[in-house]
Amino acid sequence: MKGVRPHTKLPIFVKLSPNVADIRPIVKAAQESGADALVIANTYRAMKIDIRKQRSVLGRVSGGFSGPAIKPMTLALVYQAYEVADIPIIGCGGISVWQDAIEYFLAGATAIQVGCINFTEPLAMPNIIRGVDNYLQDMGYESLSQIIGLAHQNNNE
């Protein structure tokens, strides 16, 4: 990060690995090094073994695990990161429906990144956007910014 920052005025988004015990020190280090935003998180280290061939089926020993199953774990990372972050957080991992997006915003994400669901549901993004808009209206909010990190406040009541 420190080597890149002096060479560009473009925003630098740092995608953090979820394969850590505590993401907060990494968030602080990324900020101090000049990151403009954080993307949380990349895929989880995973493996699958073919029990007949008795070796990994991934071609390599391990690979990346993504999709809906990782959402609760990644959501927790976004929540933790928000506690120490002074820069925007882009939450990603397991977002399939608008309710998933709302959870990420409530945990502290200022934006979301949607991946896997787009392979099977081409209208996922329009549906997510429409659902988020409807939620905000139904809950009486004028702006998405009003709910970012709100779970932190409500969990402390």
Q: How far is CA 130 from CA 49, 57, 124, 146, in A?
A: 40, 39, 10, 17
Cα gap 109→147, rounded to integer Å: 10
Show pLDDT as tens, one digit a residue, over the chain (157 residues): 778 888 999 999 999 999 999 999 999 999 999 999 999 998 999 999 999 999 999 877 888 889 999 999 999 999 999 999 999 999 999 999 999 999 999 999 999 999 999 999 999 999 999 999 999 999 999 999 999 999 999 887 6
The alpha carbons of the chain give a radius of gyration, in whole angstroms, of 17
Cα gap 138→49, rounded to integer Å: 47
Ordered domains of the chain (ranges, CATH): 5-155 (3.20.20.70)
